[in-house]
Amino acid sequence: MIFDILTLFPGMFAAPLRESILGKAVERGLIQTRVHNIRDFAHDKHQVTDDRPFGGGDGMVMKPEPIVEALEFLGNIGPPPRIILLSPQGRLFNQRIARSLTQASRLILICGRYEGVDERVAEYFTDDQISIGDYVLTGGELAAMILVDAVSRLIPGVLGNCASTEEESFTKPLLEYPQYTRPQEFRGHRVPDILLSGHHEAINRWRRGQALLRTRQRRPDLFAQLHATPEDIDLLREIDGRPTEQP
C-alpha cells in the first residue's frame, strides 16, 4: 500500500512514520509513505498557498491550484489512487472504513490547514472526505497519521499476528474486555481471581461478560447495534441483574 501525503508541514510526519510498528512496516516494504510539500507546487514568487475567503470572514482558505497541481503530478506516478481530503466536514472514520481502504493500492491524503480548503478541491478533485472525530484540529496532518496507522495495521504482515485484528474492538460492535499482567497485586489492587484460575472456558465467559458490560456502560450506541445472544443476556443478568436495557 502506498500513502502519498500532501501537506504544508512535512516535518510533522517524520517520527510517526519512523517509529514502532509503522516504522517496521515501512522498512519491510509492506507500506510505502511519501510526504509531499504542497508549497512546492505553488509557482508564484512567494509560494503562496492560501488566500482570503470570497464573501469575507476570518481566516485564510487554502488555494486550489497548488493542491490540484500536486494531484496531477502524483496521478502520473504509481498505481491509480483513491484521493481523500481530511476534513472535519468529512464522513466519520471508523474501523469499517479503515478496512475498506485496505482494498486500495494507493491512497493520496490531502491535509487541510487554516479555515479549510477551497471547496472545489473537495467537490471535483477528491474521491472522499474523512473526519476522524467531532472536534476541530489545527490541520489534517494528525488525522492523516491516524488514518495511515489504522489502515496499515490491517495490512497482512504489518502486525505479525493475523488473528489479532479480527478479535479486537469494533470488528464486532463490542469494546474489549479488560487485560491484566504481572504483578498479581499492585498497590493493593488484585487481578480478578478468575484470570488466575486456569479455567479457560470460565475465563472466556468472564471476558465476554466484561466486554458486554463495559460496552453497555460506555458505548450505548454500540450496544444498541449488538445482537446479544441468549447467553449474553444471561451473562449480563448474572453480573448486575440488568440484561439488555440501556443505561
> Binding residues for ligand ADE, per CB under 6 A?
86-88, 112, 131-133, 135-137, 139-140, 143
Pick the closer one to ligand ADE by CB: 89 or 217. 89
Task: List, in sequence order, every residue forming a beta bridge with 2; answer none if it has no partner.
Answer: 32, 106
- Scanning the structure block, which residue is given the C-alpha cell 446479544? 228
Pick the closer one to ligand ADE by CB: 143 or 148. 143
Q: Which residues are CB-neighbours of 90 under 8 A, at least 6 positions away?
A: 128, 129, 130, 131
Task: List, in sequence order, every residue forming a beta bridge with 172; answer none if it has no partner.
Answer: 169
**Shortest CB 179 distance to ligand ADE, Å:** 29
Which helix (H) or strand (E) segment is 245 a member of? none
d(CA 13, CA 139): 13
Pick the closer one to ligand ADE by CB: 11 or 183. 11
**Shortest CB 134 distance to ligand ADE, Å:** 7
**Shortest CB 143 distance to ligand ADE, Å:** 3
Q: Which residues are CB-neighbours of 106 under 8 A, at least 6 positions away?
A: 1, 2, 3, 4, 78, 79, 80, 81, 82
**Shortest CB 197 distance to ligand ADE, Å:** 44
d(CA 17, CA 107): 15
Reduced DSSP (H G I as helix, E B as strand, rest coil) percent helix, strand, coil of the chain, to 5 = 40, 20, 40
Q: Which amino acid is residue 153, in one-letter code?
A: R
Pick the closer one to ligand ADE by CB: 126 or 131. 131
SS (H, E, C) 18-53: HCHHHHHHHHCCCCEEEEEEHHHHCCCCCCCCEECC
Pick the closer one to ligand ADE by CB: 113 or 216. 113
**Shortest CB 62 distance to ligand ADE, Å:** 12
d(CA 67, CA 72): 9
Pick the closer one to ligand ADE by CB: 152 or 215. 152
Residue of closest CB approach to ligand ADE: 143
**Shortest CB 71 distance to ligand ADE, Å:** 18
**Shortest CB 180 distance to ligand ADE, Å:** 33
Pick the closer one to ligand ADE by CB: 136 or 163. 136
